[in-house]
Amino acid sequence: MSPNVELLELALRDEARARDPWQRPEQVIEWLALRGEETVVDLGAGTGYFSYRIARALPRGKVLAVEPDAELRALIQAQARHHQLPIQVEAQAPAAAERVFACNMLRHLNLGQGPECDHWVVIDFDPERAPELAEVPPRAHLQTIAQVEAQLPGHRRVITRALPRQYYLELSRQA
Ligand SMILES: C[S@@+](CC[C@H](N)C(=O)[O-])C[C@H]1O[C@@H](n2cnc3c(N)ncnc32)[C@H](O)[C@@H]1O
C-alpha cells in the first residue's frame, strides 16, 4: 500500500519545524554550491529531509537516496512522485559516486564502507557542542572531526563550517 501523501506532508512539516532552526537546511544547500547537473548520493536518506531539498537544487541532475529501511524508502518515493522531484530511491549504496552527502549517519556506518567517491559532504553532531537532547545521539556515539577524517584515508578536509550543533565538512580525494 502506498503511503498517504497528505499524512506524510504533515509529518515532514513537523520534522522541519523542530529541525530547521538548528539544521539550517537552506544554509546547507547554499554551502553545497551545486551546479545543478550532479548526481548526489544521499547516504542514509531517512525521511528524505535533505533528499527533497537537494533534488530541488538539481534541475538537470538527481539525488540517489540510499535508505535500507523499506518504509522510509516508500515515504521518499511517494514524496518524490508527488512533487516530481528527480530522486531515485535505493536500498543499497552504489559502488562509486560523483558526490556523497552523509548527514547524521556516523553512528550507522563507517564512511570507509561507503561508495568510492572523490567528494564527500559530512554533517554530524559535534561532540564539543551538541547539547544532550532526545534527538542527539548519546555522546559516546558522536565522532570528532578527526575521527571522520580517519574514516576516509586519501581524502583531505577542504571546507569546515559550523552549524549550531554540528560540523559541516567537505572532504576531497587528494590528487
Ligand atoms: C539518523 S538517520 C539520518 C537520516 C538523514 N540523513 C537525515 O539527516 O535526516 C540515519 C539513517 O541511516 C540509515 N542507515 C542505517 N544504516 C545504513 C547504511 N549502512 N547505509 C545507508 N543508510 C543506513 C537508517 O535507516 C536511517 O534512516
pLDDT in tens, 69-108: 999 999 999 999 999 999 999 999 999 999 999 999 999 9
Measured in angstroms, how far is the CA atom of residue 11 from the centroid of ligand 1? 18
What pLDDT does residue 133 have?
86
Q: pTM for the full model? A: 0.96
User: Would you tell me how many other CB atoms lie within 10 Å of the CB of residue 165?
Assistant: 16
Q: 34 with 61: CB under 8 angstroms?
A: yes
Q: Which of 15, 69, 75, 108 should be mutated for ligand 1, with most atoms under 8 A from CB?
A: 108
DSSP string for 17-52: HHHHHHH-HHHHHHHH---S--EEEEET-TT-HHHH
Output the residue whose Cα is nearest ligand 1's atom 22. Answer: 44
Kindly report, residue by residue over 25-74, the tens digit of the pLDDT.
999 999 999 999 999 999 999 999 999 999 999 999 999 999 999 999 99
Q: In this model, does residue 175 exceed pLDDT 80?
A: no
Measured in angstroms, how far is the CA atom of residue 29 from the centroid of ligand 1? 19
- Full set of structural domains in the chain with CATH: 5-173 (3.40.50.150)
- Residue 64 CA to residue 57 CA, distance in Å, equals 14
Measured in angstroms, how far is the CA atom of residue 43 from the centroid of ligand 1? 7
What pLDDT does residue 50 have?
98
- In the structure, which protein residues have their CB atom closer than 6 angstroms to any atom of ligand 1? 43-47, 49-50, 66-69, 72, 103-105, 108-109
Q: In this model, does residue 1 exceed pLDDT 70?
A: no
What pLDDT does residue 129 have?
87
Measured in angstroms, how far is the CA atom of residue 62 from the centroid of ligand 1? 19
Q: For residue 140, what pLDDT band results from cuts at 50, 70 and 90?
A: confident
Task: Using the structure block, give the residue that is written with the C-alpha cell 580517519.
Answer: 150
Measured in angstroms, how far is the CA atom of residue 23 from the centroid of ligand 1? 16
